[in-house]
A and B are shown apart, each in its own frame.
Chain A
């Protein structure tokens, strides 16, 4: 029939006949065009498997060649044929084994399958992406589970319980563990009515108002403390907090925590009690003790005018000095308490004539320490910024210290110095060196030298208060102590306010 040959040669697919070993016996023009080879280059010269990539040839040998032998046909096998120029052309192949007059041959039809190839690649990529995202998701899921377990543990350890509010309906839901807060022995479902009924009636109104505020969104954070009268007869104090979580579509969810603060509030009440007691003690010290001491001091001064006998005068003098020391001690205690309560020392910093101020202090101190020579040395000119009373207190403490620990045969020198940026006060004495192991804690309260006579013993607040006064002036205090140079405390105060 005419045209059959043309149909074979120009068929819309590649057609091949090979021997059993793959030797090409016939090839149509379509196939030759696709792979860029002339028919004469193929027939009798090439085997079909020679046209495959190496991977394709192994695939051919291990898979579809046996398949073809077993089944007598294969269909839709995909393989890459190599164009004459070396580029792979993905093709899909159908093949049948045909036996004619005892001779076995293979008949092959091939279709270029670029689209399927692309599709397959995409499919493979999509699958890999899906697997990757699945792996990521699984990992995220695991991390989430871990985080949840950790959160759960933390919440249990911290006695925290979750509740939630539907912002639309105002309906509140509680996690089953909330039952523990209500005095039940085991977690169990808890509804609002059950919960509300156990809230202490005195606290109910206040809690409700706070809750309505967060519901009306006038505030984002709900916070209320109320008591719950548990079914087990115990009263628990609960701090309820909640926060509105805005969601993308504008819907609001409110998620909250219930914090069992029974123990905490008990502790806080006790701490408040203790603080109050300390404040009361300060009151007692400052008023009730100060006033009688002042009276005693004033009394001795009045008695001096009554021409006492020498022995009376001696007693009066002792009483006066004792009262003055007691007043200083009380003042130190008061200051210490203030700094310990975190209030800091109040200072009233003003422009002062430093030399005149120090000179006055030294004169007063000379009277209080008659056994010791006090010398005042001035350097520079100008004003300083200081709280005059506090500075005198500071110098007094340092001089007391020098008298207590220094060599009384040599004078104690107080130097006031006006510098460019700083003014300073230095109190210097000779005598024993401060033990090095005492240096790091010298300015801490309740630290003092050991070999001190009973007359000069203090509670060890002197240097602590010196450092606190320096700090209140934004200044500092440093100490140097050596056999040759003696001991010097230098207080530096900034000159600029």
Chain B
């Protein structure tokens, strides 16, 4: 294991200022820059921390230990380290997709570190199982792994991705476009396997912190049935559905996402005021 600090391993970025720290964790596929349309809004009111999962973005790829990251618990332990290193009190945790489950595991292991969880497009299990509708079959996941492998050239870090150029988006720097969503193909395949074969349904009842499940109206990865299941099974959850097609509301519907989170935060304040 690398002797570097969690901050360095995960390219932790801290911004803003406020009494409470808000931690943003990205999902499978890309990196912390997914939060660029949302995190700055919160930096006005909170201290914001965003980071890359080991194996993604600009994290320390050498620290990707296949044994440690053979389950999501490895990433959950990293999250605990990051919070201990960067925050004083319990944090607002915002996790997208697989990171919602990483937050779940970390919140069960170290509940004192979490004030509340916001889960964007979460799914505790992607594969159908009896009555449970996860949306996918094992064959679908195998097909994904094949697609990842088949796109070897597109993934390879040695091949710089070609960018068409976005004349109407001058704010995107070259630095961003060159590494976003790109990582070591072998790590991507390993992480995909761990993510899409994970099953955290039995952990859900153990998370007692207030939780917002932010569900898109049409999301291939996390369908409505999964959101409903989470609402039923998490002890302290609010489910909000926002009008969005796709799995990345923080990119395609940032305003609706922020509004839903703000409502949740307000309800938390109201709750603490009355208690």
A67 CB to closest chain B CB (Å) equals 5
Asked whether B164 is an interface residue with its Cβ less than 8 Å from the other chain, the reply is yes
- Please, what's the 1-or-0 string for A59-77, where 1 marks a CB less than 8 Å from any CB in chain B? 1011111110111111111
Asked whether A152 is an interface residue with its Cβ less than 8 Å from the other chain, the reply is no
Stretch of B47-55, B206-214, B246-254 contacting A (4+ beta carbons < 8 Å): B246-254
Asked whether A58 is an interface residue with its Cβ less than 8 Å from the other chain, the reply is yes
- Please, what's the 1-or-0 string for B18-61, where 1 marks a CB less than 8 Å from any CB in chain A? 00000000011110011010000000000000000000000000
Contact A61 B247 (CB under 8 A): yes
- Please, what's the 1-or-0 string for B238-272, where 1 marks a CB less than 8 Å from any CB in chain A? 00000001111001100000000000000000000
Beyond A69-B251, A123-B152, whether A54 also contacts B29 by CB under 8 A is no
Alpha-carbon distance between A66 and B26 when the two chains are bound, in angstroms: 12
Which B residues touch A95, using CB under 8 A? 164
Asked whether A268 is an interface residue with its Cβ less than 8 Å from the other chain, the reply is no
B200 CB to closest chain A CB (Å) equals 18
Which A residues touch B252, using CB under 8 A? 20, 69
B256 CB to closest chain A CB (Å) equals 14
Counted as pairs of residues, one from A and one from B, with CB atoms less than 8 Å apart, the total is 135
Contact B151 A75 (CB under 8 A): no
Q: Residue among B146, B153, B164, B219 with the most chain A CB within 10 A?
A: B164
Beyond A96-B164, A96-B166, whether A58 also contacts B221 by CB under 8 A is yes
| Interface residue ranges of A78-127 to B (CB < 8 Å) | 78-80, 90, 94-99, 116-117, 120-121, 123-124, 127
Alpha-carbon distance between A117 and B144 when the two chains are bound, in angstroms: 16
Alpha-carbon distance between A94 and B218 when the two chains are bound, in angstroms: 25
Which A residues touch B251, using CB under 8 A? 66, 69-70
User: Chain B contact residues (Cβ within 8 angstroms of A): what range?
Assistant: 35 or more
Beyond A53-B143, A66-B251, whether A75 also contacts B30 by CB under 8 A is no
Asked whether A57 is an interface residue with its Cβ less than 8 Å from the other chain, the reply is yes
Asked whether B140 is an interface residue with its Cβ less than 8 Å from the other chain, the reply is yes
Alpha-carbon distance between A393 and B147 when the two chains are bound, in angstroms: 94
Which B residues touch A116, using CB under 8 A? 153
Contact B147 A80 (CB under 8 A): yes
Contact B181 A97 (CB under 8 A): no
Option from A21, A73, A79, A121 in Cβ contact (under 8 Å) with B147:
A79
A80 CB to closest chain B CB (Å) equals 7
Asked whether B150 is an interface residue with its Cβ less than 8 Å from the other chain, the reply is yes
Which B residues touch A99, using CB under 8 A? 168
Contact A120 B152 (CB under 8 A): yes
Contact B147 A72 (CB under 8 A): no
Beyond A66-B30, A66-B251, whether A21 also contacts B164 by CB under 8 A is no
Which B residues touch A79, using CB under 8 A? 147, 151
Contact A117 B150 (CB under 8 A): yes
Asked whether A419 is an interface residue with its Cβ less than 8 Å from the other chain, the reply is no
Contact A123 B153 (CB under 8 A): yes
Contact A71 B172 (CB under 8 A): yes
- Please, what's the 1-or-0 string for A16-51, where 1 marks a CB less than 8 Å from any CB in chain B? 000011100000000000000000000000000100
Asked whether B108 is an interface residue with its Cβ less than 8 Å from the other chain, the reply is no
Asked whether B145 is an interface residue with its Cβ less than 8 Å from the other chain, the reply is yes
| Interface residue ranges of B130-172 to A (CB < 8 Å) | 136, 139-154, 161-166, 168-169, 172
Asked whether B64 is an interface residue with its Cβ less than 8 Å from the other chain, the reply is no
Asked whether B180 is an interface residue with its Cβ less than 8 Å from the other chain, the reply is yes
Alpha-carbon distance between A58 and B34 when the two chains are bound, in angstroms: 17
Option from A61, A65, A97 in Cβ contact (under 8 Å) with B166:
A97
Option from B149, B176, B180, B245 in Cβ contact (under 8 Å) with A21:
B245
| Interface residue ranges of A1-24 to B (CB < 8 Å) | 20-22
Alpha-carbon distance between A428 and B143 when the two chains are bound, in angstroms: 92
Which A residues touch B219, using CB under 8 A? 61
Alpha-carbon distance between A62 and B221 when the two chains are bound, in angstroms: 9
Contact B246 A65 (CB under 8 A): yes
Give chain B's interface residues, CB within 8 Å of chain A: 27-30, 33-34, 36, 97, 136, 139-154, 161-166, 168-169, 172, 176-177, 180-181, 196, 218-221, 245-248, 251-252
Known: A56-B147, A95-B164, A97-B166. 17 other contacts (CB 8 A): A54-B143, A58-B136, A58-B144, A58-B220, A62-B28, A62-B29, A63-B29, A65-B247, A65-B248, A66-B181, A71-B166, A73-B163, A75-B161, A76-B162, A96-B164, A97-B169, A120-B152
22 contacts between A and B (CB under 8 A): A55-B140, A55-B141, A55-B145, A55-B147, A55-B148, A56-B147, A57-B220, A58-B136, A58-B147, A58-B196, A59-B144, A62-B28, A62-B221, A62-B247, A64-B181, A66-B30, A66-B248, A72-B172, A75-B161, A75-B163, A95-B164, A98-B168
Give chain A's interface residues, CB within 8 Å of chain B: 20-22, 49, 53-59, 61-67, 69-80, 90, 94-99, 116-117, 120-121, 123-124, 127
